[in-house]
Chain A
């Protein structure tokens, strides 16, 4: 099984079900990518590069967005 750490939680995928890119992961999670920014193994990935960024077993990804704040 492949493992991705998404926002601190481990998610396991069968090798053939592993999302190939950040766009695929967002689709799988039902997240609207227009409002999200990602950090893959500590590197910021801009939205424009989500489709081109491949995901690999063992990586850690943070998905963040704006919320209300003062």
Chain B
């Protein structure tokens, strides 16, 4: 597959994978391996001082995968900036998946706070990958302030509804000069393939893999779907038409007319 380049860094995989909701760190590690992903998202939370769990970081080989901390839980630009700075201090990595989701029911991203935070974080030297609604104008504004990608949602986080925002994402892709990573709501490999077929540069999947009965096999399914979708996109899709167009010759039939 052709390389994906984000902020000058090259990746062979176009599937980014989240680490939430796995039944165990061991299953997660195997699923990440099977997915072929090279970028792995993590969240930052308070240490539970009454109940020590094993740390996520130990299950992820940091030489092999780029850790992409998210700012999940942030409801304002200020909270997202605080989380980004903490994440950078924790990892030494200046990449951040910027999420500002004030609404707990649909977890839809706040465009105004996201743009505000993006502008400040870019100035502070962060590589910013913002999670947004499928809004072409917002995408342009984020690119203008220097984000490394835009990450429009397919449907609400964890909903597995698939590519409900397709037509808006097509506009975003048409106008983008940074990679477009379709994030959130992709529930099946076919959803991921569809996003890749319309020209998305990559997709991010978490829930659909982590909560499958067999996350490792599902991770591989998504890997293949993303590869197929990308290959289809670069192959140039054949035209769609209203009427039938015979695939076999319309001459030489065994009948007399």
Which residues of A pack against B, CB within 8 Å? Answer: 6-9, 29-32, 35-37, 39, 44-46, 62-70
Contact = CB atoms under 8 A, between A and B. Distances in A.
B34 to A, nearest CB: 17
Given A31-B49, A70-B20, 11 more contacts: A6-B49, A35-B57, A36-B90, A37-B89, A64-B47, A68-B22, A68-B42, A68-B210, A69-B206, A70-B72, A70-B184
A64 B83 CA distance: 10
Contacts of B89: 37, 44-46
Given A30-B52, A37-B86, A44-B89, A65 B19 contact: no
Given A35-B55, A63-B47, A64-B44, A70 B90 contact: no
Most B Cβ at <10 Å: residue of A31, A39, A46, A69: A69
A24 B76 CA distance: 33
Interface of B: 18-22, 28, 41-47, 49, 52, 55-58, 67, 69-70, 72, 85-86, 89-91, 157-158, 184, 204, 206-207, 210
6 contacts: A36-B47, A45-B89, A69-B42, A70-B70, A70-B72, A70-B184
Contacts of B42: 66-69
A37 B72 CA distance: 17
B49 A67 contact: no
Contact of A68 (B47, B56, B86, B184): B56
